[in-house]
Amino acid sequence: MAQLRQVNLSTKELPDKWYNIIPDLPEPLPMPMGDKQIQNLPKMLLGECLKQEFSQERWIDIPDELQSIYAQAGRPRPLFRALNLEKKLGTPAHMYYKSEFFSPTGSHKVNTALAQCYYAKKEGFERVTTETGAGQWGTALAYGSAMAGLKCTVYWVRSVYNWKADRLDLMKMFGAEVYASPSNKTECGRKLWEKDHNHNGSLGIAISEGLEDSLNDPKAVYTLGSVLNHVLLHQTIIGLETQKQFEVFGEYPDTVIACLGGGSNFGGFAIPFLGDVLTKGKKIHFIAAQTAAAPNLQGEYKYDYADYAEFTPQLKMYTLGHTKDMVPVKGDGLRYHGCSPILSLLRNKGYIDTVAYPTDEKHVFESAKLFVRAEGWLPAPESAYSVTCAIDEALKCKETGEKKVIAFNISGHGFLDIPGYKSILGF
Ligand SMILES: *Cc1c(COP(=O)(O)O)cnc(C)c1O
């Protein structure tokens, strides 16, 4: 029998619960701060998501209907052994990657978009609003709302809106209304837009616009695609599947890697394994791959707002400051000032290591090219950071001769990001 290269699960083996790590954390998770903003929370978040945000239940049921929606979106997704890449690198390490790129819109973000749209419909809303940076979250929500029969409004960071024409059209295909942010549609956007019609925007500003829009319309609800506890909870389906798949491979990871912007794909992939470390005494090296444009895990661990205009409560997190200007990069989904509170706490306790790659993105995209030519799957620009980190770790193993098992998440595909690759690699 040839060597096992891919393991997938049957739809019957799809996890039927998400894993909530909050009760297993080494310390209680610091609560959000800010009376006015906390009072606003029930108007900002879906009821079910708000409940999950502060839940102390270790396992939370995925509703049957949502399990079936996940199956329709192609879950479970395969775990691959990167045999070609290992050979090309000449590494003794065993490399495994999870394929979140098998997604109707191109990323892992559908895992929470489908859940949030499902709850929004159940709770009687007619429209969802949001921000998007790289465009992946906006596309995922546009798709999720189409599946649930909801309207969708997206505020998209202008520096990215301007160059991702195909992704814009894909959102429109799903029926979403999309505005470049800062826009003239909201009060907080208009102030910036009037000063500079070509304002680059930022995720923080776009969040403020999405929130303001929904707060002014009782039929609309705001949704967030990263950072918050309930978003990471929904994403744990990635790591829970991966754990079952590793059992079939008969291995267990020494190193777990994912790229990190706000923390949702890193959290989704790593949290079930972090649970093993916290409750079962496993030893794993976790590495978050970031851009030097937004190395939030190297920032300060303190209370800060999640958005530019200070609509959100303050969260205890690693942050660069919520008004920080950050240079645009092609892996724009990684350009956010703060990291999820759950992951920030674990980083603060020494469980999570981090690396930040230079903003010229040459090393990252060259590594992605190597990966594509070995394995055939084109990662999203953000996922290229995860791939790069995995390759760098595998090359360290080549020097030391260690046969580490390296697991990395590929959060999305790059089919709509070829112009970004082309501008950096110059082909
Ligand atoms: C949004 C996004 C990211 C970064 O966001 P996280 O919440 O940190 O996961 C990474 N990869 C892809 C493909 C994305 O769409």
Q: Is 79 found in the same domain as 53?
A: no
- pLDDT at residue 1 in the model: 65
pLDDT in tens, 17-45: 999 999 999 999 999 999 888 888 887 89
112 lines ligand 1 (CB under 6 A): no
pLDDT in tens, 96-147: 999 999 999 999 999 999 999 999 999 999 999 999 988 999 999 999 999 9
Q: Is 259 found in the same domain as 291?
A: yes
Q: How many distinct structural domains can be found in the chain?
A: 2
Q: Is 352 found in the same domain as 389?
A: yes
pLDDT in tens, 132-188: 988 999 999 999 999 999 999 999 999 889 988 999 999 999 999 999 999 999 999
Q: Is 102 found in the same domain as 174?
A: no
Q: Is 377 found in the same domain as 321?
A: yes
pLDDT in tens, 332-374: 899 999 999 999 999 999 999 999 999 999 999 999 999 999 9
Strand duo 6-7 + 220-222: pairing: unpaired
386 lines ligand 1 (CB under 6 A): no
139 lines ligand 1 (CB under 6 A): no
Strand duo 94-99 + 405-410: pairing: parallel
134 lines ligand 1 (CB under 6 A): yes
pTM of the entire predicted model? 0.97
Indicate whether 394 belongs to any domain: yes
Q: Is 159 found in the same domain as 147?
A: yes
Q: Is 174 found in the same domain as 159?
A: yes
Could you give the 3-state DSSP secondary structure of residue 195?
Answer: helix
Cβ pair 408, 384 in contact under 8 A: no
Indicate whether 184 belongs to any domain: yes
Q: Is 96 found in the same domain as 27?
A: no
Final residue in a domain of this structure, among 191, 222, 253: 222
Q: Is 319 found in the same domain as 298?
A: yes
Q: Is 350 found in the same domain as 307?
A: yes
76 lines ligand 1 (CB under 6 A): no
Final residue in a domain of this structure, among 222, 251, 269: 222
pLDDT in tens, 40-59: 888 789 999 999 999 999 99
Residue 226 Cα to ligand 1 middle (Å): 8
Would you state the structure tokens that stand for residue 279, as one six-digit string?
């409750």
Give the total residue count for the chain: 427
Cβ pair 274, 19 in contact under 8 A: no
- pLDDT at residue 35 in the model: 87
For residue 131, what are the domain limits?
A: 19-63+109-222
Domain containing residue 27: CATH number: 3.40.50.1100
Pocket test for ligand 1, best of 111, 130, 136, 344 (most atoms within 8 A of CB): 136
| Residue minimizing CA distance to atom 2 of ligand 1 | 333
Q: Is 300 found in the same domain as 329?
A: yes
Final residue in a domain of this structure, among 175, 191, 222: 222
Nearest ligand 1 atom to the CA of 383 is 11
- Which of left, alpha, beta for 287 (phi over 0: left; psi -120 to 50: alpha)? beta
Q: Is 82 found in the same domain as 133?
A: no
Indicate whether 84 belongs to any domain: yes
What is residue 29's DSSP assignment?
P
